[in-house]
Amino acid sequence: MPSENQTKGFAGERIAAEWLESKGYVILESNYRFMKAEVDLIAFLPAKQYHRGGDLVFVEVKWRKNADFAHPESSVGATKKRLMLQAAEAFLHERKMEGTPCRFDIISMVGAHPEIEFEHIESAFLG
């Protein structure tokens, strides 16, 4: 049975996925895991110029009730970034997509549903 934090995390990821879809992203996978590494959302953003394809986006979702002490994205440290990169490499390898351009984003959410403020940090770090 999931803990209260896990349940809240899954709810936040669902809300973030719906928000991304409203912006034109296609969610490919949620909670992708490889060994100890995990990525909350894997999405595709089609390019406006169809011939260019689009971007594969690995997304970390962070949700806090308030930002009194720190913004949610500040909790994405070096270890989490390393693990996301590891999971991304595994995802690309499993699907024979090595060399595919991708980026790592953070969705920072503050507030209680439905009054949530979103901040989308594109290319939050380099892989």
Question: What predicted TM-score, i.e. pTM, was given to this entire model?
Answer: 0.89
Rounded Cα–Cα distance for residues 76 and 73 (Å): 6
Delineate the domains of the chain, giving CATH numbers in brackets. 4-125 (3.40.1350.10)
Band (pLDDT 50/70/90 cuts) for residue 51 is low
**Which positions ≥6 away from 37 have C-beta within 8 Å?**
83, 84, 86, 87, 90
Band (pLDDT 50/70/90 cuts) for residue 99 is confident
Higher pLDDT: 77 or 71? It is 77
Rounded Cα–Cα distance for residues 49 and 55 (Å): 12
- Which range is least confidently modeled, 71-75, 90-94, 108-112, 114-118? 71-75
